[in-house]
């Protein structure tokens, strides 16, 4: 038997963006009853729990973009939150290394972006400084980014869930509650899950990998489709991990919203290296051969997917080859740390990125948040969404305050 429960606002999705949004609304509008519905049996089960844990500084993003503004503000607020709540984190810095002269123009553009965005302490350095910061890394030039760091985003999400429920005794974070449909009425919406029926005045869609589907449940045909890209990581053996002190990145390919194969010293210990970026046949598929018929059909029946494939097929083939070839991965890693060998690598984790794609095959680079009727839909929130989550949550709180008259 289904039980009806009433809330003023229901947030769909228990990742760090959904929880940060619910937290900001709960803190700024304490009389409101706020609920979060997460389909897994724990929060942070997908993108939040499968990312690299990097606190991004804000230098990659186009000046004036939502990514740039929210990353800068969100990073500072995230650090304050972590310090206040005792969440493990460290500002260790990173270097972005050029190994070929052809990469220097792209590096110069990143440097200019970072300076316009106000990234603290950013500077270009030469080979001697590279070796001083990372003795085993080789490059002709690098950007030193002292404001980058590491954090445990799962613990951030768990703390946000705790604070949401503390803000009002009526607030609740529900896990194992997958939303299956909406029943729309003039002044409220029934949110149907596999366990209960909830009624709410307003809905905020932060469903990540499922956000376009949740939008369609709300009667909206989003202008983009979520296409999943899996990223596989390897880990360095303990002996090899000593060759990487902190965070080491290549100069990314400016044609894609991916940062390239990099080294990440993790907050819990050890060093990850990767990821690749390959089309996934399953939205929540973390294995290399995972497949879901519905997910694959929705991606492959979309014109934009094939336009993207046709435009970048060489890149795609290269990424797939590296996904199944340890030698190809090693060759990429050796561009930065030449002393690595095959025996230094073993399989690590994987994540799936929810990438919004337009019908013309254009990868949506910036955050995309749209308000329609009595709902707000987060339709694209890729990296650095975790770093920027509290600032994104504040933005959604402002939109909700104005649009819903809170």
Query: Do you find a cis peptide bond into 86, omega within 30 degrees of 0?
Result: no
pLDDT of residue 2: 45
pLDDT tens string 284-302: 999 989 999 999 999 999 9
Q: Say yes or no: 124 and 237 in one domain.
A: no
Q: Provide the token pair at 231.
A: 């990223």
Q: Say yes or no: 294 and 358 in one domain.
A: yes
- In this model, does residue 1 exceed pLDDT 80? no
Give the whole-angstrom CA distance, residue 199 versus residue 205: 15
Domain CATH number, residue 333: 3.30.9
Q: 298 vs 142, 210, 295, 378, 381, CA distance in Å?
A: 41, 12, 5, 19, 20
pLDDT tens string 70-84: 999 999 999 999 999
Q: Say yes or no: 166 and 42 in one domain.
A: yes
Domains: count for the chain: 3
Of 363, 380, 395, which residue constitutes the final position of a domain? 363
Q: Say yes or no: 139 and 239 in one domain.
A: no
> Has residue 84 been placed in a domain?
no
E-strand stretches of 51-196: 54-55, 89-90, 94-98, 123-125, 141-145, 149-151, 172-174, 179-184, 189-193
The model carries a pTM of 0.94
pLDDT tens string 192-232: 999 999 999 999 999 999 999 999 999 999 999 999 999 99
DSSP three-state, residue 346: strand
Q: Say yes or no: 295 and 355 in one domain.
A: yes
Confidence class of residue 323 from pLDDT cuts 50, 70 and 90? confident
Task: State which residues form the domain around 306.
Answer: 225-243+254-363
Q: Provide the token pair at 336.
A: 């930065």
Q: Say yes or no: 349 and 214 in one domain.
A: no
Q: Say yes or no: 333 and 231 in one domain.
A: yes
Q: Say yes or no: 44 and 163 in one domain.
A: yes
Are the CB atoms for 157 and 14 separated by under 8 Å?
A: yes
């Amino acid at each position: 038997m289904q039980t009806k429960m009433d809330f003023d606002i229901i947030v769909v999705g228990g990742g760090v963006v959904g929880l940060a949004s619910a937290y900001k609304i709960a803190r700024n509008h304490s009389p409101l009853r706020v609920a979060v519905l997460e389909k897994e049996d724990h929060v942070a089960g997908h993108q939040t729990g499968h990312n690299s844990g990097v606190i991004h500084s804000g230098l990659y993003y186009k000046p004036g973009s939502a990514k740039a503004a929210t990353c800068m503000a969100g990073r500072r607020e995230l650090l304050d939150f972590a310090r206040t709540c005792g969440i493990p984190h460290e500002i260790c810095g990173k270097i972005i290394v050029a190994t070929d002269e052809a990469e220097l123009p792209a590096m110069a553009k990143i440097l200019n972006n970072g300076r316009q965005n106000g990234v603290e302490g950013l500077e270009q350095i030469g080979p001697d400084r590279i070796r001083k910061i990372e003795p085993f890394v080789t490059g002709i030039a690098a950007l030193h980014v002292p404001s980058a760091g590491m954090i445990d985003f799962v613990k951030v999400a768990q703390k946000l869930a705790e604070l949401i429920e503390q803000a009002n005794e009526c607030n609740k974070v529900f896990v194992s509650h997958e939303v299956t449909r909406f029943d729309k009425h003039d002044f409220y919406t029934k949110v149907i899950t596999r366990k209960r029926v909830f009624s709410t005045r307003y809905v905020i869609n932060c469903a990540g990998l499922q956000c376009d589907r949740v939008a369609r449940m709300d009667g909206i045909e989003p202008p983009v489709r979520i296409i999943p890209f899996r990223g596989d990581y390897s880990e360095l053996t303990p002996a090899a991990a000593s060759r990487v002190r902190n965070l080491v990145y290549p100069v990314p390919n400016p044609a894609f919203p991916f940062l390239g194969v990099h080294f990440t010293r993790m907050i819990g210990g050890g060093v990850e290296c990767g990821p690749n970026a390959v089309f996934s046949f399953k939205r929540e598929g973390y294995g290399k051969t995972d497949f879901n018929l519905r997910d694959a059909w929705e991606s492959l029946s979309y014109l934009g997917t094939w336009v993207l494939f046709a435009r970048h097929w060489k890149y795609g083939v290269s990424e797939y080859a590296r996904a199944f070839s340890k030698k190809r991965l090693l060759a990429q890693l050796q561009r930065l740390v030449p002393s690595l060998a095959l025996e230094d690598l073993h399989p690590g984790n994987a994540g799936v990125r929810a990438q919004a794609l337009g019908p013309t095959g254009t990868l949506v680079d910036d955050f995309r948040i749209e308000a329609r009727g009595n709902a707000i839909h987060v339709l694209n929130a890729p990296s650095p969404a975790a770093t920027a989550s509290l600032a994104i949550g504040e933005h959604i709180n402002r939109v909700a305050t104005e649009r819903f008259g809170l």
